């Protein structure tokens, strides 16, 4: 294995017909090329080339060795070309992880153009609301939501989304109108339980009024989809990401409460194990997600931050 460089130089010398031509092609001096050939012959204890002032002639052993070296060099060049294809074109398998809430149109509409335009790209999707180890699971790209904790991973900001307080019309008919955040303390609150803590909300209202509430959920789940279904079924009130419930709001299956009050927005991030040397499949996927997820959100921000998975 130590002689791979010498073998490549030897094959180039034979192909080019002289030490000087090989040196020019390799960006080396003729003396350095000659030294590599002598080192190769000393290691093999066989003469590979007969040298005269006019030309180089292969020995019988040199001719046999050259065939193997040329084959090795061709395989190496093919391998390098394939790496270039991975760098320049979306090929191979893209392994993408995302929260379960993204398992519908949010992902399919974003990634459909990639599959349509790049026939050599394959897609593996993994939906988990719990954080997974990207390295161990060989994940190329993950979508993460909300505040990110410090990590060696890297996050790229895709979009900024708003949370809306939502309820089904049937539930509002039972509990009556909600005109102020304080009234949420008397309703059936539905909340994510990923942090194992009561839900604290900071509302900002008209005339610079603010209201901070700590709400105890009647139903807690680690799935936003489950909470949304409970909400649609009229079992309580929950926070929902605006892009994920836009259709239900337009159809009247959900109602936005407290429209004069706002909650802090939250970030959507594309997280990768490393920043440098990303293959083309990851780059185009990030851009597709940024265009789609950012385009359906009311607020956008173009920044790159160090990943801090929640």
Instruction: Provide the token pair at 135.
Output: 């390295």
Overall average pLDDT of the 69-98 stretch = 76
Phi-psi region of 133 (alpha: psi -120 to 50; beta: other; left: phi over 0): beta
- pLDDT, residue 150, reads 55
Residue 145 CA, distance from chain mean position: 13
Distance CA 219, CA 216 (A): 9
- pLDDT, residue 196, reads 44
- In CATH terms, 163-257 corresponds, of 3.30.2130.10, 3.40.190.290, 3.40.50.300, 1.10.1370.30, to 3.40.190.290
What are the φ/ψ torsions at residue 272 (nearest 5 degrees)? -130, 155
Residues in contact with 263: Cβ distance below 8 Å, sequence separation at least 6, in sequence order? 162, 163, 165, 201, 202, 203, 204, 239
Residue 153 · residue 133 · CB < 8 Å: no
- pLDDT, residue 149, reads 67
At 106-133, the pLDDT tens digits run 888 999 988 888 888 899 999 987 788 8
Kindly state the percentage of the chain with pLDDT values over 90: 37
Whether pLDDT at 268 is above 80: yes
- pLDDT, residue 223, reads 83
Whether pLDDT at 136 is above 90: no
Whether pLDDT at 182 is above 70: yes
At 28-59, the pLDDT tens digits run 888 888 888 888 888 878 888 887 767 788 88
Kindly state the percentage of the chain with pLDDT values over 70: 87
Distance CA 140, CA 6 (A): 36
Residue 205 · residue 179 · CB < 8 Å: no
Whether pLDDT at 302 is above 50: no
Overall average pLDDT of the 162-176 stretch = 95
Mean of per-residue pLDDT scores for the chain: 84
Q: Give residue limits of the domains in the chain.
A: 4-87, 92-161+266-306, 163-257
Whether pLDDT at 197 is above 70: no
Residue 168 · residue 232 · CB < 8 Å: yes
Overall average pLDDT of the 64-78 stretch = 82
Distance CA 60, CA 57 (A): 10
Distance CA 64, CA 62 (A): 5
CATH class (in words) of the domain with range 4-87: mainly alpha
User: Which alpha helices (H) appear in the chain, and where do they start and end?
Assistant: 4-16, 19-26, 30-44, 60-88, 105-117, 169-175, 224-232, 242-251, 280-295
The CA distances from residue 214 to 178, 198, 256, in Å, are: 17, 6, 20
Cα of first residue to Cα of last residue in the chain, in angstroms, is 45
Distance CA 235, CA 231 (A): 6
Whether pLDDT at 305 is above 50: no
Which of 50-59, 147-156, 231-240, 281-290 shows the lowest per-residue confidence on average (mean pLDDT)?
147-156
DSSP for 226-259 reads HHHHHHHTTS-EEEEEHHHHHHHHHHTSSEEE-T
> Which fold would CATH assign to domain 92-161+266-306?
D-Maltodextrin-Binding Protein; domain 2 (3.40.190)
Secondary structure element (H or E) that encloses residue 201, with its range: strand 199-204
- Higher pLDDT pick, 92 / 229: 229
- Higher pLDDT pick, 158 / 222: 158
pLDDT classification of 309: cutoffs 50, 70, 90? very low
pLDDT classification of 227: cutoffs 50, 70, 90? very high
Whether pLDDT at 11 is above 90: no
Strand partners, 228: none
- Examine domains 92-161+266-306 and 163-257 and report if their fold is the same: yes
Taking the complete model, does pTM exceed 0.85, yes or no? no
pLDDT classification of 307: cutoffs 50, 70, 90? very low
């Amino acid at each position: 294995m130590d002689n791979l460089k010498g073998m490549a130089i030897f094959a180039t010398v034979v192909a080019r017909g002289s030490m000087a031509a090989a040196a020019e092609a390799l960006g080396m001096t003729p003396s350095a090329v000659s030294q590599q050939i002598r080192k190769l012959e000393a290691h093999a204890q066989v003469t590979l080339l007969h040298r005269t002032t006019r030309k180089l002639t292969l020995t019988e052993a040199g001719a046999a060795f050259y065939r193997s070296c040329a084959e090795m060099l061709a395989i190496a060049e093919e391998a390098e070309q394939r790496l270039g294809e991975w760098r320049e074109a979306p090929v191979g398998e893209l392994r993408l992880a995302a929260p379960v809430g993204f398992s519908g149109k949010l992902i399919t509409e974003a990634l459909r153009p990639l599959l349509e335009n790049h026939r050599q790209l394959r897609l593996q999707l993994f939906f988990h609301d719990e954080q997974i180890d990207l390295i161990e699971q060989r994940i190329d790209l993950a979508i993460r939501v909300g505040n990110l904790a410090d990590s060696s991973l890297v996050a790229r900001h895709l979009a900024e989304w708003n949370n809306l307080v939502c309820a089904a019309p049937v539930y509002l008919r039972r509990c009556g109108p909600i005109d102020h955040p304080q009234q949420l303390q008397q309703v059936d609150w539905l909340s994510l339980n990923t942090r194992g803590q009561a839900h604290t909300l900071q509302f900002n209202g008209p005339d610079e009024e603010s209201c901070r509430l700590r709400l105890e959920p009647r139903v807690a789940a680690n799935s936003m989809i489950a909470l949304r279904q409970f909400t649609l079924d009229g079992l309580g009130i929950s926070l929902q990401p605006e892009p994920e419930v836009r259709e239900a709001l337009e159809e009247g299956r959900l109602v936005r409460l407290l429209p004069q009050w706002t909650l802090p927005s939250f970030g959507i991030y594309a997280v990768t194990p490393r920043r440098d040397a990303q293959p083309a499949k990851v780059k185009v996927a990030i851009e597709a997600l940024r265009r789609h997820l950012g385009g359906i959100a009311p607020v956008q921000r173009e920044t790159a931050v160090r990943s801090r998975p929640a």
